[in-house]
């Protein structure tokens, strides 16, 4: 909508520490996380990730996948993420204390790990970032 607040979704990233995020998942993580965050911003009433009309101000969000723990015995995958919220376009930090995790039960293959990564980005955006933005 014309009156929606613009939210620029950053490129997202993954920890370069292979002990925290295995390399085989670090490469795909930013795309999965960004897609999930964009979807959630689009769903949120009053916000848009679409840059139509050259918005003069809004918000900037970004996140880093900080951990992936795979427990083959328990058939679980745990993904951890930390994020930031800043102003747009100046990127003045509003908070860097957005973090959370998601645990997927039932499998540990590549698809399960990717689902976990997307799920934590979706949850952080929906449950923490959007409510924070609404208070600004």
Indicate yes or no: pTM above 0.85: yes
User: Which residues, 6 or more positions from 86, have their beta carbon under 8 angstroms from its beta carbon?
Assistant: 59, 60, 61, 62, 92, 93, 94
How many domains does one find in the chain? 1
Q: Summarize the confidence of residues 74-79 as an average pLDDT.
A: 97
For residue 39, the surrounding DSSP H or E stretch is helix 29-43
Q: Which two tokens stand for residue 30?
A: 């930013």
- For residue 41, give Cα distances in angstroms to 33, 74, 108, 124: 12, 33, 28, 11
What per-residue confidence (pLDDT) applies to 2?
60
- Whether the pLDDT of residue 51 is over 90: the answer is no
- Give per-residue pLDDT as tens, 3-37: 899 999 999 999 999 999 999 999 999 999 999 99
128 lies in which domain range? 5-135
Q: What is the CATH number of the domain that holds 64?
A: 3.40.50.10610
For 86-135, the pLDDT digits (tens) are 999 999 999 999 999 999 999 999 999 999 999 999 999 999 999 999 99
Residue 124's H or E segment, with its range, is: helix 110-124
């Amino acid at each position: 909508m014309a009156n929606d607040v613009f939210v620029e979704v950053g490129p997202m990233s993954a920890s370069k520490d292979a002990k925290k995020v295995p390399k085989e998942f670090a490469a795909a993580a930013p795309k999965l996380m960004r897609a999930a965050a964009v979807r959630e911003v689009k769903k949120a009433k009053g916000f848009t990730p679409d840059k139509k009309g050259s918005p003069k101000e809004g918000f900037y969000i970004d996140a880093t996948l900080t951990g992936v723990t795979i427990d083959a015995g328990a058939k679980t995958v745990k993904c951890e993420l930390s994020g930031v919220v800043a102003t747009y376009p100046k990127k003045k930090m509003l908070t860097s204390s957005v973090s959370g995790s998601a645990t997927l039960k039932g499998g540990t293959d590549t698809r399960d790990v990717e689902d976990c990564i997307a799920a934590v980005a979706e949850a952080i955006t929906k449950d923490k970032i959007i409510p924070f933005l609404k208070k600004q």
